[in-house]
Amino acid sequence: MIEYSIEAFRKNAKLVLFFSVPFLLAFAIPLLSPMPTYVSMGATFLRTGSMFVDLTYFDVGLIFVSSLASLFLVSFAIVSINLVIKSQRTMTNIRMEVIEGIEKYTMTIFLLYSIALVLSLVVLLVSYEYQVEGLTTPLFSFLISLVLFYVPAAIVIDELRPTEAMKMSLYMIKNKFVLFLIWLILGFVILTVLDVGFVFLASLHVTWSRYAMLVLNSLIVLPFLVILQTQMYLTKYTILK
């Protein structure tokens, strides 16, 4: 499976890198907004504790708009990469399908991610009120990530409706849990190794190290993990294993 993914990345390197640029833009947007952010493991994270004391209503509005812009770019990149892998694994030429279908798929994924974001914010606000955000917020994020894990692949490859795609995501995780676990472990190991490396560079006062990590993860690591995720989804078709 990992070998398939590496080969798919190699064969489609130009297209994958091109469609991965939105990942880079998506992670850069929070850094340019008034969000209380920090960079770790190649991603941009929000300091939720600072949201309730340091930000004005204008800042909150700008953060919301920035988050939506980032989500849209992420959705576009994930859909595009899935279409590239669909073309390769099914041995079909879908250039016109990419042009015609990318908008529809992207808007569907974007809508689902936006709903997940809003629900996460609601859970955060409610749990913050009761001082349990350290438990409920990560737990909710983990559960919603299970529901959405295979959704992009299900929508792009099988053209399932959102509700059907979410059911398929849970079905795939349940019936192919080992693959899901491999994806989690591999992603964690890759990101941790890179993070340690760039922390070491930062300790040497290499000021550009965190930005270099964002570029590397946006253009290489994250696209590879998306490809691996799609390849895992395709194992539901025995002929494509």
pLDDT tens sequence across 159-173: 899 999 999 999 999
For residue 122, CA distances in Å to 25, 118, 134, 151 come to 26, 6, 14, 22
Overall domain count for the chain: 1
Continuous segment of H or E residues that includes residue 74: helix 57-89
Q: What distance in Å separates the CA atoms of residue 223 and residue 17, rounded to the nearest whole number?
A: 8
The predicted-structure confidence for 62-81, as pLDDT tens digits, reads as follows 777 877 888 899 999 999 99
pTM of the predicted model as reported, rounded to 2 decimal places: 0.83
- Of the candidates 152, 22, 149, 19, the one whose C-alpha atom is nearest the C-alpha of residue 9 is 19
Retrieve residue 40's tokens.
């770790």
Q: Domain residues for 54?
A: 2-240
Amino acid identity, position 100: E
Confidence band for 42, pLDDT divided at 50, 70 and 90: very low
Model pLDDT, residue 62: 73
Q: Which residue is it, tokens 């991603």?
A: 43
User: What residues does 47 pair with on adjacent strands?
Assistant: none
Buried b (16+ CB within 10 A) or exposed e, 61-94: eebeebbeebbbbbbbbbbbbbbbbbbbbeeeee
